[in-house]
Amino acid sequence: MNDLRELIGQTVTATIFENDIRCKVIDLQIEDYYFQEKGEAIRITVNAVPIGETPKGFDYEDLIGIPLCDITK
C-alpha cells in the first residue's frame, strides 16, 4: 500500500466523463474496511487539482474521489 502513496504529487491524466484532464494528485484514500469485513474489493480513490486548462463548464469537484482505474500516468 505504501507504493500507492507514491502517487501523491505525481502528474497524471484523469478520465472524467470522457474528458482527459491533466492533474496533480494531492491525496489518496484506501478504503479496505469492507474488504476485511465482508470480502469485498478494496476501493482506492485519489483527489487531484487540474494542471492547465479544463473544458468549459468543468466542475472541479469531479476531481475529488476519482477511482484509481480512471487514472493514467
For the whole model, what pTM was predicted? 0.81
At residue 2, does pLDDT exceed 80?
no
pLDDT digits (tens, 9 = 90+) for 11-56: 999 999 889 999 999 999 988 776 667 777 788 999 999 998 888 8
Q: What is the pLDDT of residue 13?
A: 95
Q: What's the number of domains the chain is made of?
A: 1
SS3 assignment, position 59: coil
d(CA 13, CA 18): 12
pLDDT, position 38: 73
Strands of the sheet containing 43-50, edge to edge, are 66-67, 43-50, 19-31, 11-16, 71-72
- Cα gap 73→28, rounded to integer Å: 15
Structure letter (DSSP) for residue 65: S
Range of the domain at 64: 2-72
What is the per-residue pLDDT for 48?
96
